[in-house]
Structure 1
Amino acid sequence: MYLHTSVDKKDISFTYQCMHTGSIHGGTHNIMDTKGVKHVENGASATFAERKVIDGEQYLIYNVKFSELGPNNIIVHYSVDGQEKKTTLQYTVIDNPQTALADHADFLLKTQWQTPGKLQDKVFDDWMMDTKSKRNEFAGYYGWGDDWGLTHATFLAEMNSMTPKVKQVQAIDEYLDTAIWNGLMQEHHDDYLINDFLMKQPNTTPTYRGFAYPHIYNTYFAMYKIASQYPDLIQYKDKADTYLLRAYHIMKAMYADGVGYNWETGTMGESSTPAIIQALKDRGYAAEAQDITDIMAKKYQNFAKDKYPYVSEYPYDNTSEEAVYMLGQQNNDQNMMSMIDLKTRASRGVQPVWYRYGVTTPITGENWFTFQYSCALVGIAMDDWLRVQNNGLNQADLGLAERANYAGKLANLTLINSGQMDSDPANIGTTSWTYQAQLGNYEALGTGGGNMHNGWRQMSGESDLALWGALQTMSADVVTDPVFGLTGYGATVRKQGRLYFIKPEDGLRQRVNLINDKLSYAFANDKYTQAVIDPTTQKAQFQLTNTAGEAHDAKLVITHPQAKTQVFTVIYNGKTVGSFEANGTKITVTIPVTAAKKGLLTIQPGKLLTNTKPTVTVPDKLTTSMSQANDVRLIGHAEDKATLQKQPAAKWTVVQAPEGGKATFSAADNAITSAQFNKAGHYVVQLTATGANQSTAKTVSVDVQADQPLPETVARYGFDVTDQDIIAHRLPNEAAGGPAAELYGTTDDFSTVAGKTGKALAMSGKVAGYLRLPAAVTERLQETTLSLDVRLSGRQVTGTTIYQFADEQQSLALQVNGSNELYLNVKDAGKTAKEIHTGVALPADQWENITLTLTNHGAALYLNGKVIKTLPQSTLTLGALGKVQKNYIGRATSQAAPWFHGALDNFVLRSKALSAAEINKLYGNDEALTIKSLDPATAVTSVKTAPQLPQQVQANYSDGTKRAIAVTWAEVDPEQYAKAGSFKVTGTIAESKALSATVTVQVVAGKKENLAKSATPTAIIDTPEDLGGVKGLNDGFTPANSDDRSHGVWHNWHGDQTADAWVQYAWKQPVLLTDTNAYYFFDGSNFDPSAARFQYQDDQGKWQDCQNVQGAGTTLNQFNKTTFTPVTTKTFRMILTPGHLGIGVIEWQVNGYTVQ
């Protein structure tokens, strides 16, 4: 330390204070604890080192030691004009960074839940110092998730990309597979949306909170780095590219419709964006890289026009600055970057107390989130501006600026408990969310409540986001301080001539920055124990530690923006391994290192190597099938020792193809690309690399085999689901070689009952565990037979789905309505959905076999071996479904649609359309099917208007089913409907002479009309200020389309967007209702319903379901008509299930008669 003072040093003395010697942490609700702090009695000292005079001013420099971790005060006693005075200097002392980080990484394994099959399994939970236990809050809002829960693994994954440990990597992989992909994201494998919190399904927490997305994609990206750098470390759940592509898809989803806090908000963690874009390019995903580049270009424009580009979620936030700086960096916007640097330095001003020196302080003051993550995250911006950008600082200013810069790197390491917060061994290694600077109020919103521990809040919270940020910049920095002179931050340094001898002590040992020389070196996956650097010639030597423990390519990033073009030679352990050219920008040099644990790397000025020949690596042989031939990954690698800073130019060409065969490449000039082959046969493709001196070519033999005939039984699932199946998320396919079904849910979400054979999957009609069939099941199915045993439990909700096969445009669903009538819902590519009703209603509590055959020239539906519906015009086949499929059993593609209620057994999928005789033999019986009785029918008409009698009545068959059959009615005498009242008509059916049908006709005085016009509309929520609310529902308007807003729209966007919603009509007097027409709203992304049902209030005021419901469609751009058994009521409502987010209705007609 130094004292900038005119006081003579002989008049200055010191006393020392720490937690053992003074009440540093007094205050309400604060736990004082000094037992865990290693205290050295009389260990604190300030020893005079030298006196300097700078610009005529005196600086007294002291070497300082402290007696313990945590807060330490040095009290300066001095005399001015005979008057005794004192000044208190406040410091906080942290453990060795490497030790602290390692302790915390190890501790996080203690926070991971090990509860196979349960909701929280493999979650890294928040730790509570008060209870010395995991938080265990998984009920939704403010539970596990958001910026606290989601970030623990983000830090741990990033840490292991730098310092891998087998147990930690295994834990992260299991977390991503179980807690994230098959837990938090189980409903979003196709759209990659992120619910903000983990909870039991249905997850009603929003997917619109953009802040959550970077935490997940950064964890996946770190996992990609681990898996690609250390491929043999563990047996990974997925391929390295899978982790990378999930990071990409989640990042892209963050900017999808319905997600907020994205285009005009900077979120935490976005500084990783350039690295993700580069990784996509490196792995041959050029289109994906361009997607993200285009998104960032648009986002940059949103901030470029903003005079104050710092606002984030709240006015006082500083959370946007990291992201906004990245946008400026990508677009070389010096003004934007400089404003961010000025802003963050202003909030870190040199304050009179230690906890505000170099620590971001928002306008809410020092009690609110002191030491929060912005110290490190916005420190990323501050570090780049100081080291890389054209900041205009002179040498003295660089030295001064580095003080706050390095404080930003270290500040958040104070969040790790090394004993200075809490001495209990159970809490050593945990972290604290924030520091409560004034020790007064002890809680802040959402930070866990409870006690403070030596001033630190007890919940770990968002601290790991801070540590992730610290990992981005931690380094050994060498600078010439205007007072201290040559200084090593995170390092010991000495200078001999032009050479700096640097020993890193920053905790990572991967980066070294010469601040005054604007020269930086950073290893991606190796460490160094000593560096010797000559900034004049840029010769550098590193004592390397081989982190991977095997021969590999070390990645070294060199940044020297002010340098001219220069050539360097690279020597490893005395052997020249290459050369490269640096041109004054940031470059990445790929250096081949041996498997030795240690090595000496030397980089020195030289010449480009001559007579080098590129090294090309490709697979010797690939074998694929025609069904997979449209996307064959060719993974090549090329390098030239003469130009280690870049890959040589690459080119894929076709050397050999069968007659008529053709191969094309998605990116022929990238060493990693995808190829498409149009015909079976033998191909030879070649990768040519053109280096600085010569070219090298290597060929790949590709055998594209004709597809083998499919087995007759493609899939057979017996539903004998075990806990182990649920934990593994897979149900074995009983068909030899067939793909397993995917199981989603916890062990609490699944139950089995006695099946038709063995066990059956029981479903409650509510969101629970379910099966999803992979796209591989439908591959090449040009004709199909699907068979399933079904047992309904009671009456189903209209739109209940037994199974559904769908891609992004086409869909086939087997459904039942509120009368248990079986029907198909079919949507061909580019067409609207069409319901095909069978007129057959299934009985409850009875096993029925339902079999469907599909070909490109027709379809047929069978019940217990007998055909009940043929579709000669149908052309949809399962083999025509696209690459992205949503194939479910027991539910629809939308979680919000009605779920099946009953039991399912014996699902069989065949690769041929069985004949009627074959189906009857497998699933039929010899019992004669007879009609037992006929249900009475009803009709309504106006006085003197001939009634329209139903063309069919419901017949009750001997197998328990109800089926609609044609009826011939007797002549109706006009006198019977000449006045109000009721009468009956009898009819005959062709199937039985012994049974007669009856219909009761109610004659009313009025005429049928749209009674909605005289009703009072209400809804579950009404927001007239947003598109008009309920008042437009009954204005008689006919919309032009489902996005017609000209007469107003009712919607529930400001309510629960994921739950059912209702609209309702009420009349002062009873009305007789017969049918309804609804026109639904759709804004291009949301508000469309997936199912509709209708209820009325009886004389007792109880809600009753409408009976014999027909229609209940949800087709867009038209009125959807629904008929039902007429009801007399004063209140009628429509209950809608969302297809995406929210529900919207433009117009709702309800037809019937006024009761007189």
Structure 2
Amino acid sequence: MIPMKQLKYMLSLVVLMQMKVLMGFAQERQQFRLENEKMEVIISRSGISSIKSPSDSYGAEIVGSNSWGRANLTYRIWDGSWLAIHRGSSTNFAVLSDSVVRITDYEKGMPQQMEQTFTLVDDGLDLDIRVKSMMQFPFEVGDLSLDLRPHGPRSEQSKEGIFQKSFIKHQYISGHGSFIFYAKPSGNGPFLMVLPKAGTSLEYFDNQGGGERVYIHSKLPGSLQQQGTWRQEHTSVSLNPAGETDSEVEYGFKLRWVDGYDEMRDLLFKEGLFDIRVVPGMTIPTDLRAQFSLRTKHNIDSISAEFPTHTELRFVEEVTPGNYIYEVQFSKLGENMLIIHYGDGYQTYLEFFATEPLETLIKKRSSFIVNHQQHRDTSKWYNGLYSIYDMKNGILRSPDDTDGFEGWWSYVVASDDPVLGKAPYVAAKNVYYPDDTEIASVEYHIKNFVWGGLQRTDEETPYPYGIHGVPNWKVARDINARTAFRARQLDRMQVWRTYDYPHVFMLYYHMYEIASKYPDKVQYLDAAGYLERTFQTAKAYFMYPYEIWGDYYKIYEVACYNELLIPDIIHALERHGRGDDAEWLRNEYEKKVKYFIYDDEYPYSSEYSFDRTAFESTYAFAKYGMITEMEPDSNLWFDKNREIWYSHANVSKQAAKHFMERQHGAGLSIRGWLETNYYKLGADNSMSYMAKMGGWSVLDYGINFAEKPYDWLQLGYASYLSSWALMNTGTPESNYGFWAPGKENDGAMGWAFIEQKRGRSWLGRDMDRGPWYYDGEADLGLGAGIRMAATVVSNDPIFGWVAYGGNIREEKENLYVVPKDGLNARFVYVLADKRVTYELDRDGFLKDAEIITDKNNNSISFVVENRSQDVHLTTLKISAIFNDIKHVQVAFDGKPLNATRRDGSHFFEIQLPMQQASHHVEIKLGYEADLAR
């Protein structure tokens, strides 16, 4: 027999050999799997090579590079040169147990050692970093960062791959309150959160090495990037010699899967971070107050303002334990930071942006386009064009001056989305604030640039009313130039680009409205003429791209912005007795609506495979299906054997609601919701002109359909406000603008926002943090803003009575609200069970006068101002989609008026006979039971 002592020794050797084999095998493979019910992770020598959720039936992969989660460290000894920590042969990859893996960067003679320890815990994965001195002299860490590039959506993927197997990264870089999360483009869970542990903060980010890098310390990259600005301090950390106090530092992160946004908020609170909400948004006009709630386990020591003499900040109340409400108002235009002080010297930052009042912005932008962005030179083929303004150089660009860009830049300055949104915005603004000079400018544009240039006339064959979209109408009409641009399209008339048509029929539709309301202000066409152009352009939209390109330009399967106006055009045709034309257009539009509701599980593409612009139209299609009776059509694409096809009208509305919820979730995946800084909250995950477009869908969903509306009122209104920060405006005291000072730039605007200190725009040009200095498609977003502008009143469960886009006060059972939304023509009241929208088709609520309503949403009174100062009729529409209204009583200057209701509709119309400067209106409502849900 073997002696017990010897047996124990032999067994220990076996165990040791097994461990060596295990570790050696891991070394050889250079990776190890950590797995439990909450997390599936593969760790390699270079970092995390795979992260998946065991509950995800699609097996979606977060990691976009094999070095995900790998720490980067740069140091210097004394004031010597900066050196990157040595890797390669010196990197030790060790499996410490079945739940712990450690990567150590150290080689004998190096002044420091860095360890990254990956620990599988019950609810996820912990990532800890330790840096310590190894020699008898101090050193400074000037760069400590993580690469966190996700496996993002790619056009070459299948739709399932794009929407269910890829992720979009969201990040809130805000000191000790920072966090990161990843969302699928479908909007479905699970979501991965990356949460700093106590004492760990994030202060900077960039895209070094093609990755997406976040920094714990950023002194070195911050100093290397001399251009641009950054709002947080670039820090470093110094370590004492080995063995002394402060000779090592530790940092940590928690990786956790969650199922939804509410769970994310709860996890932020649980882990000692902040669940923050802001109303009405973080781009805030100087005539409005904002409130924000800080839900946290921490005691707030103080909140300091960047400009204390220009900031009114007060604590309101602790609304629930650990949820603190504050109110703030800014008087200094531009960026305004609040710093939250808490814990052991911890700081978190709230970045606001203060603008001029919204009415000023709406008017100033329209005036700037007319006075600074229109070419008027009869010797030029582009006479009448509204083109791109360069606010960095104070120059209006043109086809003859493309700022050094060549080739495709011709399209940017002379056609398509970058310029075709400008005239429609000016026209939309003038429906509510008519200005003779601006209306004349738009008609000059139509007469000299659009008709017979950009757009084929009614006498041109083939394809009358066709739009010559790209690269511009001059090239498209010139065979030789067209040959040089795209030889493969020589056999096709250049009127196939789907996306251009809605901009043009939007322009004509708003000019039709102007001509109908102010016939003395138009000279080029009358209302009937503009309506004819509107219809024929919309008809060409459905016919020509499909006819010329077939399935290549899938007009019925791709969402285009501004096409949501088609139902309004249909109604206008009906009002003018053009029933056949209305029916034709309705049939084509409903083909598209049915496709989106029934046929495609992921219909969120537009010009790109996953496009933020799509969510304006997808929501409009869903809304149309919710409020319109549509007959099923077996001749369309739909497979009638699929379970989702419904023939009964009520069940068909359920299908529309199902699609509405799906598109809403997908839209959230690319919208800042938890990230509370002005260029994130409500914005399209990298603020651009699209913030308002998809934001309209979120706000309207909250108003009309969501059973719990409060989140979506908060997010939707923040979306409306957010991208006004792209506009450069100001007063004489502020030198007329925060981004590009000088009176000549007062009213200029940026296309999109650069978040990092210096980054690359879609145009391929590096720019400093802030708005691009070209405006481009910015005015497409502002056109959506005109449709979106409203003052919305609600009893929020956190903030109490709130007026989004207005100032509110309570007095017993009544609310007194002064609209400040910029248009002052829509007032919306949202309770859990009663939701009503009051909308004026022209004029507006009297400036600075209070709208008075009772808290039960049963009565309202207000004063309407006569903005055109003439005798006319203004239509007041009262709509209630979520709940039905049984009857309406209206008193106009004390005299009763009739309220008429179209059969089967959800709204009443009242004709207000405007005969003097202002009139007083009182309304009482009676409700039916909830019918819409």
Quick check: TM above 0.5? yes
Q: Does 1:347 align with 2:670?
A: yes
1:407 is aligned to 718
Structure 1 position 163, deviation (Å): 1.0
- 1:122 corresponds to which residue? 384
1:262 corresponds, among 555, 558, 564, to 555
- Output aligned runs, 1:251-330, within 5 Å: 251-256=538-543, 257-258=547-548, 260-303=553-596, 304-330=598-624
- In structure 1, the partner of 2:249 is none
1:850-874 alpha-carbon deviations (Å, 9 max, x no partner): xxxxxxxxxxxxxxxxxxxxxxxxx
Match of 1:335 among 636, 643, 658: 658
Matched, 1:567 2:890: no
2:452 is aligned with 1:182: yes
Alignment partner of 1:194 out of 467, 488, 503: 467
Higher share in strand: 1
CA offsets per residue over residues 224-280 of structure 1, 9 Å max, x none?
A: 00000111224x211211111211111111122115252110001122111111111
Preserved CA contact (<8 Å) 1:266 1:323: yes
**Counterpart for residue 58 of structure 2:** none
Residues 504-536 of structure 1: CA deviation (Å, up to 9, x unaligned): 011110011112231111111120033222364
CA distance in 2 between counterparts of 1:589 and 1:156 reads 27
Alignment match of 1:91 (pick from 320, 332, 352): 352
Give the whole-Å Cα distance in 2 for the aligned partners of 1:295 and 1:153.
26
What residue is the counterpart of 1:967 in the other structure? none
C-alpha distance in 1, partners of 2:224/2:822? 32
Matched AA of 2:594: Q
Residue 486 and residue 170 in structure 1: after superposition, are their counterparts in 2 closer, same or farther (change >3 A)? same
- Coordinate RMSD, CA, aligned: 3.2
Specify whether residues 493 and 141 from structure 1 end up closer, same or farther in structure 2 by C-alpha distance, changes over 3 A only: closer
1:143 to partner: Cα distance: 3.6
Residue-by-residue CA offset, 1:98-145 (whole Å, 9 max, x unaligned): 111111111111211111253121111110113211111268444411
For the 8 Å contact 1:564–1:584, the answer to whether it is kept is no
Match of 1:308, SS state, is coil
Report the CA distance between 1:180 and its aligned residue: 0.3
Q: Does 1:533 align with 2:827?
A: no
The 5-angstrom pairing of residues 843-854 of structure 1 reads: none
Find the structure with the greater CA-based Rg: 1
> Once the 2 structures are TM-superposed, how far is the Cα of residue 216 of structure 1 from its aligned partner?
0.7
Question: Which amino acid in the other structure matches residue 475 of structure 1?
Answer: A
The 1:164/1:91 distance shift into structure 2, 3 A limit, reads: same
Q: Does 1:164 align with 2:434?
A: yes
Counterpart in the other structure of 2:697: 381
Give the C-alpha shift of residue 547 in structure 1. 2.2
Match of residue 482 from structure 1: 797
Q: Distance in 2 between matches of 1:249 and 1:582?
A: 27
Q: Residue 606 and residue 388 in structure 1: after superposition, are their counterparts in 2 closer, same or farther (change >3 A)?
A: closer
Match of 1:113 among 375, 379, 384: 375
> Deviation of residue 4 (structure 1)?
14
Shift in CA distance, 579/213, structure 1 to aligned 2, threshold 3 Å = closer
Provide, for residues 995-1021 of structure 1, a one-character-per-residue CA deviation record: whole Å limited to 9, x for no partner: xxxxxxxxxxxxxxxxxxxxxxxxxxx
1:180-208: per-residue Cα shift (whole Å, max 9, x none)? 01321246655211111232642738321
Alignment of 1:625-704 (within 5 A): none
1:132 aligned residue: 394
1:1060-1109 deviations in whole A, cap 9, x for unaligned?
xxxxxxxxxxxxxxxxxxxxxxxxxxxxxxxxxxxxxxxxxxxxxxxxxx
Unaligned runs of 5+ in 1: 6-21, 608-1156
Q: Give the whole-Å Cα distance in 1 for the aligned partners of 2:778 and 2:316.
A: 39
Map residues 1030-1045 of structure 1 onto 2, 5 A cutoff.
Answer: none
SS at match of 2:467: coil
Matches of residues 760-779 of structure 1 in structure 2 within 5 Å? none
Aligned length: 565
Query: In the TM superposition, what is the alpha-carbon distance from 1:44 to its structure 2 partner?
Result: 4.5
SS of alignment partner, residue 350 of structure 1: coil
Deviations 1:445-480 (A, max 9, x none): 37xx4744x521110100000100111111111122
Query: What is the CA–CA distance in structure 2 between the aligned matches of 1:174 and 1:271, rounded to whole Å?
Result: 26
Assess if the C-alpha contact under 8 Å between 1:561 and 1:584 holds in 2.
no
Alignment of 1:55-66 (within 5 A): 57-66=321-330
Q: Which amino acid aligns with 1:192?
A: Y
Which letter does structure 2 place at the counterpart of 1:380? W
Q: What SS does structure 2 have at the residue aligned with 1:43? A: helix
Q: 1:577 aligns with which of 897, 903, 916?
A: 897
Mapped partners of 2:499, 2:802: distance in 1: 38
User: 1:285 corresponds to which letter in structure 2?
Assistant: R
Distance in 1, Cα, partners of 2:693 & 2:915? 35
- Distance in 2 (CA, whole Å) between partners of 1:26 and 1:570 is 67
The residue aligned with 1:599 is 919
1:209 aligns with 2:497: yes
Shift in Å at residue 29 of structure 1?
5.1
> C-alpha displacement at 1:306, in angstroms?
0.9
Residue of structure 1 equivalent to 2:838: 521
Shift of 1:41: 5.8
CA contact (8 A) 1:477 1:512 kept: yes
Aligned to 2:215: none
Instruction: Give the TM-score normalised by the residue count of structure 2.
Output: 0.57
Q: 1:4·1:58 contact (CA, 8 Å) conserved in 2?
A: no
Tell me: CA distance 1:331–1:189, structure 2 relative to 1, closer, same or farther (3 Å).
farther
Aligned to 1:42: 308
Alignment gaps of 5+ in structure 2: 1-174, 178-218, 232-284, 287-304, 401-406, 486-493, 627-655, 730-736, 928-933
Q: 1:510 aligns with which of 811, 822, 825?
A: 825
Question: What secondary structure sits across from 1:414 in the alignment?
Answer: helix
- Where does residue 200 of structure 2 map in the other structure? none
Kindly provide the amino acid, as one letter, of the partner of residue 350 in structure 2: L
CA contact (8 A) 2:456 2:466 kept: no
Distance 1:24 1:216 in 2: 45
Q: Per the alignment, in what secondary structure is the counterpart of residue 329 of structure 1?
A: helix
- In the other structure, the counterpart of 1:681 is none
Residue 306 of structure 2 contacts residue 337 of structure 2 at CA under 8 Å; is this kept in 1? no
Q: Secondary structure at the match of 1:440?
A: strand
Counterpart of 2:542, as a letter, is: Y
Deviation, 1:351, is 3.9
Superposition deviation, residue 489 in structure 1: 1.2
Aligned to 1:428: 746
Change in CA separation of 1:456 and 1:565 when aligned onto 2, cut-off 3 Å: closer
* 2:876 corresponds to 1:556: yes
Provide Cα deviations, 1:392-427, integer angstroms capped at 9, x if missing partner: 22xxxx333211010111122222211111102211
> 3-state DSSP class of the match of 1:215?
helix
- Flag the structure with higher helix content: 2
SS of the residue aligned with 1:221? helix
Distance 1:134 1:506, change over 3 A: same
Separation of aligned partners in 2, 1:504 and 1:298: 39
Q: Give aligned-pair identity as a percent.
A: 23
**Counterparts of 2:887 and 2:664, CA distance in 1:** 33
Asked if the contact 2:759–2:766 (Cα under 8 Å) also holds between the matched residues in 1, the reply is: no
Quote the Cα distance in structure 2 between the aligned partners of 1:433 and 1:136.
17
Equivalence for 2:633: none
1:416 match: 727
Are the structure 2 counterparts of residues 27 and 95 from structure 1 closer, same or farther at C-alpha, using a change threshold of 3 Å?
farther
Whole-Å Cα distance in 2 between the matches of residues 450 and 163 of structure 1? Answer: 38
